[in-house]
Structure 1
Amino acid sequence: MDPKLEKWKEIEFNVDLPHAKYEVSNYGRIKSYSTRETGKIIKGSNVNGYQAIMVRFDKRITQSYYVHRLVAESFIPKDNDNQVYVTHLDYDKANNHLSNLKWVSERELADHNNKNPKVLKKRITGYKLTESDVRVIKKMLKNEKTRYSQIARQFGITHTQLNRIRKGHNWGHVTIDE
């Protein structure tokens, strides 16, 4: 981090703060001028993985602000009005550097989040049968003395499901050895 390349801008709040001033840098750091002339770098807090700062407007009212939004609002122009979200390009919520942030629309945010390698894809579960179960069922279906309702009850499936297995609509790729 080269201090010569770090640029600071004052944060504009909706409410006037007579007792304090805050600045944000293009490196994603926040400086508070409430106690010192030179300002003090503040760490803020962690809210759902995002760095945030708490700003007190009076004795009872406190507002939190995400640092990545403050950086984007201060340094990155929006391309259009649909861009209301700020995303981290490297998926690291702690990296609030200007080069890692981008304004995006809701659709772009969803597309970006779907590509996130850190999110584990949900495994599809819920199969009542395994391939070995289906092999057993298909062998039982070959025996004409076995009732369909008995097979369905034994494996916890419906009569319709059993017919779909018999016809090859479901589990058609499973074959039995003759």
Structure 2
Amino acid sequence: MTKEIWVEHPTDTEGTSFTKFEISNFGRLKIYNHLSPNGRITKGTLVRGVPSYIYKIYRSAPERDQQKLDEAVEKYQEARRMVAKFRYQPLKLAQYKKERDQLKEKKKKLTQKVAKKREHSVVLIIHRLVAEYFLEKPAEKDKIFVIHKDFDKKNNHVDNLAWASQDEISARHSQQPKLLLHKFKRQLYNIPQPPRNMKLSENDVLYIKKRLKKDDKIEKLAQRFGVAHSTIKNIRDGKTWKNVKLVEDLLDEREK
């Protein structure tokens, strides 16, 4: 059995508690921080079905924005002092309270603006890291993509990965097990081909129906596929794409 090998992956950790990341030829990611000084293996999350790890870094804010925020904080503190100073003088107190509240709101907005500019997301895509560290670089310059030999995107063992070109990926597309299974189901149940020139493909509709069963929001699905909300609603209500059915729906129909 191949021994698991770990290598450090240098990456940006500015403003975080992370000290380093390691990736193994078995497709596992290990993170080190103040809570896990000896390292902890993480499963991460799925990004478009691909195991990944997302974390945020915090860089210094742009000088001009930070200066504006510092000035707003200073003016707000001064307004608070004036409110305390004139607390027994109603007319002036009302004036400074109004000024204080306005400055407080301004400070809040500037704080949010600076925080947004400081925050950056870093995405570590597991299979890319495994390929870069453990697969020999291909001689062909167009082989810049990484494929999963068994079509299982969660199996990131180095033995299951390979560099590929766009043409090779396109050629493999029709051989995906889920596509072959759906083709078999269509033939088995005599399901007609969907109309041509549709914005959504059969695979898209199958995915949408699956996510709707899991109570995904219509707005989210519509945005993902670039279609109107009514398109997703019609799929949900069975007004369109009636012939494209999930395996569990087909089995239920057979039992009835």
TM-score (norm 2): 0.44
Q: State yes or no: 1:111 paired with 2:109.
A: no
Query: 2:5: which partner in 1?
Result: 7
Query: 2:54: which partner in 1?
Result: 54
- CA-based RMSD of the aligned residues comes to 2.5
Task: Answer with 1 or 2: which has the greater Rg.
Answer: 1
Unaligned 5+ runs, structure 1: 127-178
Give the distance between the partners of 1:55 and 1:25, measured in 2 at CA: 19
Give the match's secondary structure for 1:57.
Answer: strand
Give the match's secondary structure for 2:171.
Answer: helix
Query: 2:42: which partner in 1?
Result: 42
| Aligned equivalent of 1:124, options 183, 193, 204 | 193
Unaligned 5+ runs, structure 2: 59-117, 187-191, 196-256
How far the C-alpha of 1:56 sits from its partner, in A, is 2.5
Give the distance between the partners of 1:125 and 1:96, measured in 2 at CA: 34
**Deviating more after overlay: 117-126 vs 39-48:** 117-126
How far the C-alpha of 1:33 sits from its partner, in A, is 1.0
Q: State yes or no: 1:74 paired with 2:72.
A: no
Give the distance between the partners of 1:39 and 1:45, measured in 2 at CA: 18
Residue 60 of structure 1 aligns to which amino acid in structure 2? E
Q: Of Structure 1 and Structure 2, which has the larger fraction of its residues in helix?
A: 2
Structure 1 pair 62–125 and aligned structure 2 pair: CA distance change class (3 A): closer
Aligned length: 124
Give the match's secondary structure for 1:109.
Answer: helix
How far the C-alpha of 1:124 sits from its partner, in A, is 2.9
How far the C-alpha of 1:109 sits from its partner, in A, is 1.0
Residue 156 of structure 2 aligns to which amino acid in structure 1? N
Give the distance between the partners of 1:62 and 1:30, measured in 2 at CA: 18
Give the match's secondary structure for 2:119.
Answer: coil
TM-score (norm 1): 0.61
Query: 2:108: which partner in 1?
Result: none
Query: 1:91: which partner in 2?
Result: 151
Tell which has more relative contact order, 1 or 2 (C-alpha 8 A, sep 6+).
Answer: 2
Give the match's secondary structure for 2:19.
Answer: coil
Query: 2:162: which partner in 1?
Result: 102
How far the C-alpha of 1:37 sits from its partner, in A, is 2.9
Give the distance between the partners of 1:112 and 1:78, measured in 2 at CA: 21
Give the distance between the partners of 1:34 and 1:124, measured in 2 at CA: 53
